[in-house]
Amino acid sequence: WYRYLDFMDGEIRELLTNYGEIGGIWFDGWWDKPAADWRLEKTYKLIHDLQPAALIGNNHHRLPFEGEDFQMFEKDLPGGKTAEFNKDAQVGKLPLETCETINQAWGYNQNDHKFKSTRELVHYLVRAAGHNANFLLNVGPRPDGAIQPEFVERLREMGAWLGKNGDSIYGTREGPVPPRNWGVTTQKGQKVYVHILDLEDDVLALPRLPGKIAKASLVSGRAVEFNENKLGVMLKVDQALRDPLDTVVVLEMM
């Protein structure tokens, strides 16, 4: 076993010394040998010595270990525990990431036609941001390296949505309102982004926010009617103005 670990560390050394700057190393857990001594401290030290800026993550579904730089959640939002292998997972204090597939498989599977819709994928992305997590979306290429058209279609549609709404995702952190059934909030600087994903009413009630609202608008710039008092905030967004994927209301705070 230890001979294998020496071999593995040798392969990691080759990757980290022969191919320029490496952004991160993503370990897929230890599910095949959960009781083994993986010598993580030694391997993590090797990585950080050779590539100090490389981020280390390990998909072991437990609280992070010393030397890891972020915590990942497979096919689940942080703290969600909807996937069986996450049932014992706790959210630690490191930066977070959630990873998901477009269909059901991580690799290419020509018989897997259970594709998530673009709406489902955008919601996953948005909810991950609202949980203060990065979103890693897997693409399993065909044997010839091509990306199947069902994936391309969804990625392009997600890209089009991000082209209009990217400011509400990129560089943001979780917002002042914790995730709710109707959606999430994200924040960047003095802007709070309210992501309305599933709301039948025309009015959304929010708790009191830190600071006062100077302006409320859709991403398009169209003004959103709001009422702010000591109990909280009421936003009025008619159904006719809703985006079928995610209606983003931008609150500019004083």
Q: For 96-136, how does the pLDDT look when each residue is reduced to its tens digit (9 = 90+)?
A: 999 999 999 999 999 999 999 999 999 999 999 999 999 99
115 and 103 in contact (C-beta within 8 Å)?
Answer: yes
pLDDT tens digits, one per residue of 160-195? 999 999 999 999 999 999 999 999 999 999 999 999
Domains of the chain, first to last: 2-168 (3.20.20.80), 175-253 (2.60.40.1180)
**Positive or negative CA dihedral for 162, 164, 169, 170?**
positive
| pLDDT tens figures, 32-83 | 898 999 999 999 999 999 999 999 999 999 899 999 999 999 999 998 877 7
pLDDT, position 79: 86
- Whole-number Å distance between alpha carbons of 172 and 186: 6
pLDDT of residue 201: 94
The alpha carbon dihedral of 195, 200, 203, 206 has a sign of negative
